[in-house]
Amino acid sequence: MRNGYQSFPDGSIPANSENASTVLITGGTGLVGSHTVAALLRRGESVRLLVRDPQRVGPALRPHGFDPSHVRIVAGDVTDPAAVAFALRGCSAVLHAASVYSFDPRRWAEIRAVNVRGTEVVLGAARDAGAAAVHVSTFGALLPTGGETYLASKAAAETVARHHQDAGEPVTIIYPPALLGPHDPGPGDQTLRIRDVLRGLMPIWPDGGFPIGDVRDLAELHAVLLTGVPRPGRFTGPGRWAGTRTLLDTLRAITGRRLPAVHLPAAALEPVGRLADVAQLVLPVRLPVQYGAIHTCRVARPIAAGDPLGIPARPLRTTLADTVRWLHRTGLVTTRQAGRAVHDADRIVEERPFPKRR
């Protein structure tokens, strides 16, 4: 035990240091990773994390009722082959959730490095270790990129994952929708957009829409895929299509606020988004307008709703309400901004129970 977390000195993980079902998680201090870690721990699984900053593990897990003592931690970067190979020793499977989800042009270099190179390294190491792999992609990886860096990086990572699948390796690809829900360690871009709406910073919206899901449902899907028999293939994450008008109307119903907004064609707003991206390169504050988000609304198309592996998606209203309440509890929005949702602010956000694997 060091600095409040468990770690392994270089070379100290014996191949049989944990049981045969130990799962390695990359990106375990992010939204998707932390919820998946909690889902696995509730099932009684052994979990190991590969993280750049071990000090972030505690804040990411404590809202779920766990702390760093419940997992094994390896400090390292997903772009470092030696660190990834070391972390995978003795693991039966790996969830590759480490990714930079952002349309912020200031992070372009980081996005390219982590999203593409990280996928190459992790899936290559899983192949060499004989471990099954679940690669967390995004619905955006299947869209026309429009020259947007994040979408292009996920499309490139998709090519890497497909190559491993075509080689007959036990690789599963998941395409999550846009994700919301409570307990976002970042918080990430999607959560910040909801915050910006409640703060009145998004009076102009693009028409169109995109699939939206609850991170807790995705975590349940990951837990199913990471335990038991590997299921190589491709799955969409639990979620439902929502137009931008539906999204805003649902937030109005939850908060009881007017949230005035004008909807314009996404194609007409794309040039505005590109200009905002240029301005973002020199401005110290985060702008609520991003080309990538506008472009996604324009090119995304509704797909048939489904419940992968029998895991149903929560209603959009439930997901948004829990997100708004969490934003209020953490001080990211005021009582006035959260509106009527504050009446339930003290309600504990309950997770679905995950039975232990027998």
What is the value of pTM for the model shown? 0.89
- Whether residue 121 contacts residue 52, with contact meaning beta carbons closer than 8 Å, is answered with no
In order of their start, the domains of the chain are 23-342 (3.40.50.720)
% helix, strand, coil for the chain, step of 5: 45, 15, 40
Beta-strand ranges (E) seen in 192-313 are 204-206, 209-214, 233-236, 240-243, 262-264
Q: Is the bond preceding 265 in cis, omega lying within 30 degrees of 0?
A: no
Contacts of 295 (CB under 8 A, 6+ apart): 146, 148, 151, 266, 270, 273
Contacts of 37 (CB under 8 A, 6+ apart): 25, 28, 47, 49, 60, 61, 64, 66, 71
- Whether residue 95 contacts residue 103, with contact meaning beta carbons closer than 8 Å, is answered with no
Per-position pLDDT tens, the chain of length 358: 333 334 443 334 444 344 558 999 999 999 999 999 999 999 999 999 999 999 999 999 999 999 999 999 999 999 999 999 999 999 999 999 999 999 999 999 999 999 999 999 999 999 999 999 999 999 999 999 999 999 999 999 999 999 999 999 999 999 999 999 999 999 999 999 999 999 999 999 999 999 999 999 999 999 999 998 888 999 999 999 999 999 999 999 999 999 999 999 999 999 999 999 999 999 998 898 999 999 999 999 887 656 788 899 999 999 999 999 999 999 999 999 999 999 864 443 444 433 333 3
Q: Which amino acid is at 186?
A: G
Task: Look at residue 213 and give its three-state secondary structure.
Answer: strand
- Which two tokens mark 299? 């090119």
User: Could you give the CA distance from residue 44 to residue 126 in angstroms, rounded to a whole number?
Assistant: 23
User: Could you give the CA distance from residue 70 to residue 240 in angstroms, rounded to a whole number?
Assistant: 33
Residue 115, number of CB atoms within 10 A of its CB: 26
Of 264, 219, 255, the C-alpha closest to 327 is 255
Phi-psi region of 146 (alpha: psi -120 to 50; beta: other; left: phi over 0): left
Beta-strand ranges (E) seen in 223-270 are 233-236, 240-243, 262-264
